[in-house]
Amino acid sequence: MSKRIEENLEKIPIVNWLVKIGKEIKIPGLEGLSLYDVIEMYIIGIVKGALTTRAGGIAFSFFMAIFPFLLFILTLIPYIPVDGFQEGLFDLIREGLPPKTFDAVDGVIKDILNNQYGGLLSFGFLTSIFLMTNGVNAIFGGFEYSYHVQEFRNVFKTYIVSLGVSLLMSFFLIIVVCLVVLYQIALSRIDEIGWFDTSELNLFYLGRGFIFLVMIYTIVYLLFRYGTKQGRTVKFFSAGAFLTTVVSLFTFYLFGIYVLEFAKYNQLYGSIGTLLILMLFVWLNAIVLLLGFELNASIYQLKRRNKTS
């Protein structure tokens, strides 16, 4: 790796000792490359990749795509033959948003339900697909601005891929909600038969939490897999997807504490404070998503350099 960086690190006490240990730890699957090589490449990508600027662009476009995405899903509800799907979707949205923000989204959802905007061929539905695709396309654009990405798609192909991924993510969310509803029905049936009391074991919350975790990981994998041309090398179980999933859950927990205990957005800005909280939440998750992508991109770049050399 960079000799200049290594020489500078060797002059710092304790750090030079950590560098030496990192070079001795070889990571399986990287053709003999060390832990230090991965960390150095990863940090270079973060520093030179304008991470927060890219996250800001993703957050804005993704925030603009949230409500069109809800319109798309809610328009499909009459065509989904599962009782309780709407309630299950609301519960999933409530669990996935930070505290004090569901009220704002709940008002928009009720407005969409009370004012029918047409069927599958309506202008509102087609517009929601367009805006939803723009949100995914912004994520892919943020990926391509990475310091480690050197292969690019043309604009037309990128948009087509973004459309396919946005539709795939939407239908995957529908499947997840259906699984949660069917899981709840199965637990109710077990209680009726009297095999055991599922509420005492918290099986519903544990099972729903597991399904939610799988949903997050799978969506992250889809974004990493189709976000760039080099993403075709990303496997389902990757270091970047694992990092993004774990850190996003940890961030959600800490952000919930921050909103409940420290944030005073509603007192300062009134009702618009809820939207500020939601925007901040989206921005933080955009940073976490880019951190996971940079890790996968760093590993890919290291493998490529090692094969070339």
Distance between CA 218 and CA 165 in Å, rounded?
A: 12
Q: In which band, very low, low, confident or very high, does the pLDDT at 282 lie, cut at 50, 70 and 90?
A: confident
pLDDT exceeds cutoff 70 at 306: no
Counting residues of the chain whose pLDDT is more than 70, the rounded percentage is: 67
* pLDDT for residue 27: 60
pLDDT exceeds cutoff 60 at 117: no
Contacts (Cβ under 8 Å, ≥6 apart) of 245: 213, 216, 217, 220, 292
Structural domain including 122 reads 59-298
Q: What is the pTM of this model?
A: 0.79
pLDDT exceeds cutoff 60 at 116: no
Give the residue from 5, 8, 9, 7 showing the smallest Cα distance to 18: 9
Least confident interval from 39-48, 225-234, 259-268: 259-268
Q: Radius of gyration (Cα) for the chain, nearest Å?
A: 22
Q: In which band, very low, low, confident or very high, does the pLDDT at 188 lie, cut at 50, 70 and 90?
A: confident
pLDDT exceeds cutoff 70 at 111: no
pLDDT exceeds cutoff 80 at 115: no
Give the residue from 151, 146, 152 showing the smallest Cα distance to 42: 146
Length of the chain: 309
Contacts (Cβ under 8 Å, ≥6 apart) of 309: none
Return the exposure string of 226-242: e unless at least 16 CB atoms fall within 10 Å of the residue's CB, then b: bbbbbbeebeeebbbbe
Mean pLDDT of 209-231: 87
Residue 26, phi then psi, degrees to nearest 5: -95, 135
Q: In which band, very low, low, confident or very high, does the pLDDT at 217 lie, cut at 50, 70 and 90?
A: very high
* pLDDT for residue 113: 61
* Alpha carbon distances (Å) from 188 to 27, 46, 62, 206, 207: 47, 48, 37, 15, 13
Domain membership flag for residue 49? no
pLDDT exceeds cutoff 70 at 220: yes
How much is the mean pLDDT over the chain?
A: 76
Domain membership flag for residue 309? no
Q: In which band, very low, low, confident or very high, does the pLDDT at 204 lie, cut at 50, 70 and 90?
A: confident
Distance between CA 289 and CA 292 in Å, rounded?
A: 5
DSSP state for residue 98 in the 8-state scheme: P
Mean pLDDT of 118-130: 69
Q: How many domains does the chain have?
A: 1
Distance between CA 110 and CA 92 in Å, rounded?
A: 16
pLDDT exceeds cutoff 80 at 248: yes
Domain membership flag for residue 156? yes
* pLDDT for residue 16: 65
Distance between CA 134 and CA 186 in Å, rounded?
A: 38
Domain membership flag for residue 9? no
Domain membership flag for residue 290? yes
- The better pLDDT of the pair 6, 249 is held by 249
> Which amino acid, one-letter code, is at 258?
Y
Burial class of residue 156 (count of CB atoms within 10 Å of its CB; 0-12, 13-18, 19+): exposed
- The better pLDDT of the pair 238, 107 is held by 238
pLDDT exceeds cutoff 60 at 25: yes
- The better pLDDT of the pair 8, 274 is held by 274
Which one of 3-12, 67-76, 156-165 scores highest in mean pLDDT? 156-165
Bridge partners of residue 26, in order along the sequence = 34
DSSP state for residue 13 in the 8-state scheme: T
Domain membership flag for residue 23? no
Q: What angle do CA 29, 33, 36 make, to 5 degrees?
A: 125
138 and 54 Cβ atoms separated by less than 8 Å:
no
Distance between CA 84 and CA 179 in Å, rounded?
A: 11
Q: Where are the alpha helices (DSSP H) in 12-122?
A: 15-24, 35-48, 51-76, 85-96, 102-114
Contacts (Cβ under 8 Å, ≥6 apart) of 32: 26, 306
pLDDT exceeds cutoff 80 at 271: no
Mean pLDDT of 226-246: 84
Mean pLDDT of 250-273: 69
Least confident interval from 10-14, 175-179, 222-226: 10-14
Distance between CA 171 and CA 80 in Å, rounded?
A: 11
Domain membership flag for residue 50? no
Contacts (Cβ under 8 Å, ≥6 apart) of 129: 68, 72, 163, 166, 167
Domain membership flag for residue 17? no
